[in-house]
Amino acid sequence: MHDEPNDHFVRAGAFSIEEREAVYRAIHTRRDVRDQFLPDPLPEDVIARMLAAAHAAPSVGFMQPWNFLLIRDAARREAAWRIFSKANDEAAEMFSNERRDSYRKLKLEGIRKAPLGICVTCDPTRGGAVVLGRTHNLRMDSYSTVCAIQNFWLAARVEGVGVGWVSIFHQHDMRALLGIPEHVEVMGWFCVGYVDRLYDQPELALKGWLQRLPLEQLIFEEVWGKVSGDPDI
Amino acid sequence: MHDEPNDHFVRAGAFSIEEREAVYRAIHTRRDVRDQFLPDPLPEDVIARMLAAAHAAPSVGFMQPWNFLLIRDAARREAAWRIFSKANDEAAEMFSNERRDSYRKLKLEGIRKAPLGICVTCDPTRGGAVVLGRTHNLRMDSYSTVCAIQNFWLAARVEGVGVGWVSIFHQHDMRALLGIPEHVEVMGWFCVGYVDRLYDQPELALKGWLQRLPLEQLIFEEVWGKVSGDPDI
């Protein structure tokens, strides 16, 4: 029998209340973990489920531009930490005096503490010269990769695994450490390890760096700046 | 009592098997919907839960750079469709002859069919001049916004709501239509509406555009290019 797209429709209604709550619990309790990692190694099946979740992300033109480099070697993680550390010193200098002191007190990564590092990359050449859906926004490839990252992060949460996104490094330093080709974008270094406790709010809020914005101020009706209840314009 | 960050730790182990399966089901059955939208309007509480999920995303330096413009007006959605349509004609011309015919046969959006359009934006100025974590990668603000988008997409799945990401438009056209300031990035137009069926695979795979890559080819050990089982290098 000929295989038609219409043969591939499946029912897709709302989840049960219990299932819905599970998904919202993952979304609302996920944290960016910097310090609470336990040393226990991650079983292969757990890593496999988290990466399969990442790979199930949407991608522009189905280009699937992502790669995942798994770094367990302590010396290599130490080298990645030095790359972070150099950039972090530069970062601190960018803040004004008072803010700089607060910045320096924050722990921003768990590269050495987390037993697994994952470097996630985006290869902009994977889809060929013209990629469906990326014709008017060349960044759609990296946006697809972030969808994979967020899937991975939520999968980690349900597995009892914490994830922290490290973005403070120079691309060329991380490429050199890991042999990543020049044309490939390094999306981040992800610290990955079991956790048994998480903050009940974002760490930067708890530590007084910035507070959560009221969601209702971020939602507009029909046009920019018109909030619910404003007269029609 | 003084409120210390350590007072805010909560237990954070793995979810139950049932909860875990719910999250993985959302991740693996989510689709980029272009045509299966039902006309039923979305209740406010459903929209509120999906946007709260988006707002729970991680953001670099907790800058929360996102805004959500909700467009229900049919004339405005029609105007957005014209913006897409102009860009889509340009896009088709970028493909070689054979690929162009395939491209033209694909339905790539449901802007007019979905009862709700959501334009998601990213304001790079929200966090001030220097943003924690964005010092070495200026794109981290838009990456944070994509995390919010993916949360929204998964929340929609559990609510029985389909979402389609439209990226084929010129930024300046969409800004003009919706009154979005020049410095704000338009991340995408999202078609949002109830669905009762979804494809069991990505639509572009079913329609022969591109196939899913084997995940094991995308995972490297320690350094770029080294797959599991390769001798140590």
User: What is the three-class DSSP state of B188?
Assistant: strand
pTM above 0.90, yes or no: yes
Band the pLDDT of A3: cuts 50, 70, 90. Answer: confident
The rounded distance, in Å, linking the Cα atoms of B233 and B231 is 6
Question: Tokens 């290869």 label which residue?
Answer: A123
Per-residue pLDDT tens digits for A128-159: 889 999 999 999 999 999 999 999 999 999 99
Nearest residue to B32 (alpha-carbon basis) of B160, B154, B133, B163: B163
Asked whether residue B6 is domain-assigned, the answer is: no
Query: If you average pLDDT over every residue of chain A, what do you get?
Result: 96
Radius of gyration of chain B (CA): 20
- Candidates B45, B125, B157, B167, partner chain A, best to mutate (most A CBs within 10 A): B167
Q: Do A67 and B11 touch (CB under 8 A)?
A: no
Residue B112 has pLDDT above 90, yes or no: yes
Banded model confidence at residue A2, pLDDT cuts 50, 70, 90: low
| pLDDT for A231 | 76
The per-residue pLDDT for A194 is 98
Examine residue A103 and state whether it is found in any structural domain, yes or no.
yes
Query: Sorting pLDDT into bands at 50, 70 and 90, what band is B2?
Result: low
Please provide the average confidence, as pLDDT, over all residues in chain B: 96
In angstroms, the CA B125 to CA B69 distance is 18
Query: Which structure tokens are listed for A122?
Result: 């985006």
With respect to residue B10, please indicate whether it lies within any of the assigned structural domains: no
User: Who among B23, B90, B218 is closest to A67 (CB)?
Assistant: B218
Would residue A84 count as lying in a domain?
yes
Q: Give residue A1's pLDDT.
A: 46
Dihedral sign from CA coordinates of A70, A76, A82, A87 = negative
B contacts of A78 (beta carbons < 8 Å): none
pLDDT at residue A37, rounded to an integer: 98
pLDDT digits over B46-75, tens only?
Answer: 999 999 999 999 999 999 999 999 999 999
CATH number at residue A44: 3.40.109.10
Reported as a single tens digit per residue, the pLDDT across A97-110 is 889 999 999 999 99
In tens, the pLDDT along B135-171 reads: 999 999 999 999 999 999 999 999 999 999 999 999 9
Q: Position A4: which residue type? A: E
Of all residues in chain A, the one with the smallest CA distance to B179 is A224
**How would residue B1 be classed by pLDDT, with cut points 50, 70 and 90?**
very low
CA A181 to chain centre: 21
Residue B123 falls inside a structural domain: yes
Is residue A115 in some structural domain? Answer: yes
Contacts of B165 by beta carbon, 8 Å cutoff, 6+ apart? A58, B32, B149, B188, B189, B190
Percent of chain A topping pLDDT 70: 98
Interface contact flag, A168 B108, Cβ < 8 Å: no
ipTM over 0.95: yes
> Is A113 inside any structural domain?
yes
Taking residues A26-46, report their average pLDDT: 98
Nearest Cβ partner for A27 among B56, B99, B212: B56
Give the pLDDT mean for A187-197.
98
**Does residue B16 belong to any structural domain of this protein?**
no
Does residue A148 contact residue A66 with C-beta atoms inside 8 Å?
Answer: yes
Average pLDDT over residues A41-57: 98
In the prediction, which pLDDT does A225 show? 97
Instruction: Please count the structural domains in chain A.
Output: 1
Beta-strand ranges (E) seen in A16-145 are 66-71, 116-122
For residue A152, give how far its alpha carbon lies from the nearest alpha carbon of chain B (Å). Answer: 10
Domain that holds residue A54: 33-197
